[in-house]
Structure formats: structure tokens, C-alpha cells
Amino acid sequence: MRSYSTIAALFTLAAVLPACNPPCSRVCEKLVNCGLDTPRLSKEECEVACEQQEALYEQWEDPELRDAFREYKQCAMDKTCRAIEDGACYDEELYAF
């Protein structure tokens, strides 16, 4: 039987895990707020492209690409606008929307 503290730790971990995969809407909002959008890409277009890319990686059932895409989105949320602009989240193996 698991102790109360172990169960509490598992619930805490479960609550934190979704934060590792921010939704495309939040990532795109941040990128647009950073001024990283272009006349060719609006927030809505960014969200559609992000969601399509995410769905594609899920279809491929490739854990490395899924993880890389999640890491990219989390990086975009964690880094400053300047760091993102300077390429802090760039991954040459990953097509980032």
C-alpha cells in the first residue's frame, strides 16, 4: 500500500506534467506578443500550423519528434522574446510551425 506522501507526490507530478506541453494557442500568443509574427503569419494562422504539426507528429507515433516538439513549445514559453529571436529554441531536426 502506498503512503499518503507518495500518493500526494504522484498527484503533484500529474498536475505539473501538462505544463510541459503548452497548448499551441499559448505558444502562438507569446510569439505574437514578442513581435515574432510576420505579415504572412497571424496568431490564428500560427495556431492552425502548430496544431497541424502536432497532429502530424502524433500520427507518426515518433516519440522523439513528439518530445522535440513539446520541448520547442515549452522553450518558447520559458525563454525571453530576445532569446527566442536569437534562436534559443531552434532545432534543425524539427520543423517549427
Residue 27 belongs to domain spanning: 20-85
> Has residue 73 been placed in a domain?
yes
How many domains does the structure of the chain reveal? 1
**What's residue 41's pLDDT?**
72
> Has residue 45 been placed in a domain?
yes
In tens, the pLDDT along 65-97 reads: 899 999 999 999 999 999 999 999 999 888 666
> Has residue 5 been placed in a domain?
no
In tens, the pLDDT along 16-25 reads: 334 479 999 9
> Has residue 79 been placed in a domain?
yes
Beta carbons of 70 and 20 less than 8 angstroms apart: yes
Confidence (pTM):
0.72
